[in-house]
Amino acid sequence: MPDHAHVLMTVGEGGSLAEFARRFKQLSGYRLKQKAGVPAWQTSYYDHVLRREESLLDVARYIWENPVKEGLAVDRVAYPFSGPRDLLEQA
């Protein structure tokens, strides 16, 4: 997506979503600023922890369909930044 990113991940024992977000934004923001010359990220981020009743596959499908809804791809497989490819093509 040109104006936001969806990241679906598992935080393991002893892991930190805040630390992941900080490092992800730091490293990707540095590269994007080198290429585009402007800051890439806002200061904060929105997170959502899945509840037991929420389906991981349903959330993944929502993320995969987002570029299609926005008119960036004809189907979810055609969008080059979605993955993992093996699950994307099966789901």
Q: What is the pTM of this model?
A: 0.75
Residue 25's SS3 state is helix
So what's the pLDDT on residue 38?
87
CA angle 30, 36, 37 (to 5 degrees): 75
Q: How far apart are CA 72 and CA 68, in angstroms?
A: 6
From first to last of its 91 residues, the chain has per-residue pLDDT tens of 778 888 898 888 999 988 998 999 999 999 989 998 988 888 888 888 888 888 888 999 999 999 999 999 999 999 998 888 888 877 7
Q: Could you tell me which residues come within 8 angstroms of residue 11 by beta carbon, excluding any fewer than 6 positions away?
A: 17, 20
Q: How far apart are CA 79 and CA 84, in angstroms?
A: 12
Q: 51: phi > 0 → left, psi -120 to 50 → alpha, else beta; which?
A: beta
